[in-house]
Amino acid sequence: MVYLNGNFIAKNKASIPVMDRGFLFGDGVYEVIPVYQGKIFRLSAHLKRLQKSLDSVKIPNPHIENEWLAIFNQLLTYAETGNQSLYLQITRGVDICRKHSFDVLTPTVYIEANPLIPKTKQMLEQGFSAITQSDIRWSRCDIKATSLLANTLYAQTAKEHQVEEVILHRETIITEGATSNVFMLKNGTLHTHPTGVNILSGITRDLALESAQACDLTIEESSFNINALINADEVWISSSTREIMPITQINGQTVNDGKVGQYWACVYTHYQRLKND
Ligand code: PLP
């Protein structure tokens, strides 16, 4: 079952008109929200970011928080038991003809729930590989926009290179991953790119920083370059579905001799606690 514009229907029965601006232009925004043991994780933070994305592209928010919660909970009653990830997409709506400019339309709302199976600690302890590539995205990466052409190309590149993530850089400065935020640990200080237009301010990023603080790390939200990344003591990426994941190989070179670091183990433990709060 999925949710589409007020109705709960079978996924193969859900369809949108071709004049939907989400289809024509990728004119919409989205959120991905984890659900652990039936509890929606960090709902307010996700809805706050959704509001920010909607405001940035001038799409009215069709629901207040309690309405969103009621829709999510209803949808989750149709889902299998176990952890879930909610995918919520709001497009500007259906236009009369295809034109770039827009009038006020009724937004299209689509939500689906999918099983969320985070990697086990044992799997994470093996470490993951990444490659770096130039960041070709636009200058409003803070908006969680559905227009993800660059990101799909990066995902395909990652697949072709059999790596977990493509880590992006503008000039030599590391911004974030194609679908994650990036952290670099050196001499007890954790560095991550500051929030702003060049990265998506990840909900997990905030939680990773909170976890890092609990593990007595000094935090610097400041930019760092590719060289620093490759010579780091530890590198992690974070996202709602991956949680906090250790990267032990970048561009074929090992980080920390290819071993998962002790601070990652500490933040992992803290993050698991936050999930169960
Ligand atoms: N940065 C980008 C480009 C992303 O696509 C994502 C998640 O999909 C993130 C960062 C991490 O955001 P969050 O932790 O809210 O999932």
The model's pLDDT over 146-193, given as tens digits with 9 standing for 90+, comes to 999 999 999 999 999 999 999 999 999 999 999 999 999 999 999 999
7 pairs with which residues across the strands? 4
The reply to whether ligand 1 has any atom less than 6 angstroms from the CB of 85 is no
Does 100 share its domain with 215? no
Closest-lying ligand 1 atom to the alpha carbon of residue 241: 16
Does 240 share its domain with 226? yes
38 φ/ψ angles, rounded to the nearest 5 degrees? 80, -5
The protein residue whose alpha carbon is closest to atom 8 in ligand 1 is 179
The reply to whether ligand 1 has any atom less than 6 angstroms from the CB of 240 is yes
The model's pLDDT over 191-238, given as tens digits with 9 standing for 90+, comes to 999 999 999 999 999 999 999 999 999 999 999 999 999 999 999 999
| Residue the block writes with tokens 């999510």 | 72
| pLDDT for the residue 162 | 98
Give per-residue burial for 61-73: e unless 16+ CB within 10 Å, then b: bbeeeeebeebbe
The reply to whether ligand 1 has any atom less than 6 angstroms from the CB of 205 is yes
CATH number at residue 146: 3.20.10.10
Does 133 share its domain with 78? no
Of the three residues 115, 136, 169, the one that is the final residue of a domain is: 115
Does 236 share its domain with 103? no
User: Rounded CA gap, 208 and 193, in Å?
Assistant: 13
Give mean pLDDT, residues 83-102: 98
Of the three residues 57, 90, 115, the one that is the final residue of a domain is: 115
Query: Mean pLDDT over all residues of the chain?
Result: 98
pTM strictly above 0.85: yes
Cβ neighbors of 104 (< 8 A, separation 6 or more) are 60
Ligand 1 centroid distance, CA of 69 (Å): 21
Residue 276, pLDDT > 90, answer: no
Tell me whether residue 159 is one of the annotated catalytic residues.
no
What is the signed CA dihedral for 205, 211, 213, 218, rounded to 10 degrees?
A: -60
Does 192 share its domain with 87? no
Does 42 share its domain with 91? yes
Does 99 share its domain with 234? no
Does 132 share its domain with 204? yes
What's the Cα-to-Cα distance from 27 to each of 89, 133, 242, 253, 276, rounded to whole Å? 10, 26, 26, 39, 36
Of 48, 52, 144, 275, catalytic? 144
- Quote the distance between the C-alpha of residue 223 and its chain's center: 20
Ligand 1 centroid distance, CA of 98 (Å): 30
Does 146 share its domain with 255? yes
Does 131 share its domain with 243? yes
User: Rounded CA gap, 179 and 12, in Å?
Assistant: 27
Q: For the chain, how many structural domains are there in total?
A: 2
Of the three residues 63, 92, 115, the one that is the final residue of a domain is: 115
Residue 85, pLDDT > 90, answer: yes
Does 59 share its domain with 180? no
Structural domain of 80: 2-115
User: Rounded CA gap, 149 and 134, in Å?
Assistant: 15
SS (H, E, C) the chain: CEEECCEEECHHHCCCCCCEHHHHHCCEEEEEEEEECCEECCHHHHHHHHHHHHHHCCCCCCCCHHHHHHHHHHHHHCCCCCCEEEEEEEECCECCCCCCCCCCCCCEEEEEEEECCCCCHHHHCCCEEEEEEECCCCCCCCCCECCCHHHHHHHHHHHHHCCCEEEEEECCEEEEECCEEEEEEECCEEEECCCCCCCCCCHHHHHHHHHHHHCCCEEECCCCEHHHHHCCCEEEEEECCCEEEEEEEECCEECHHHCCCHHHHHHHHHHHHHHHC
CATH number at residue 68: 3.30.470.10
Does 56 share its domain with 137? no
168 pairs with which residues across the strands? 133
Closest-lying ligand 1 atom to the alpha carbon of residue 199: 1
Residue 119, pLDDT > 90, answer: yes
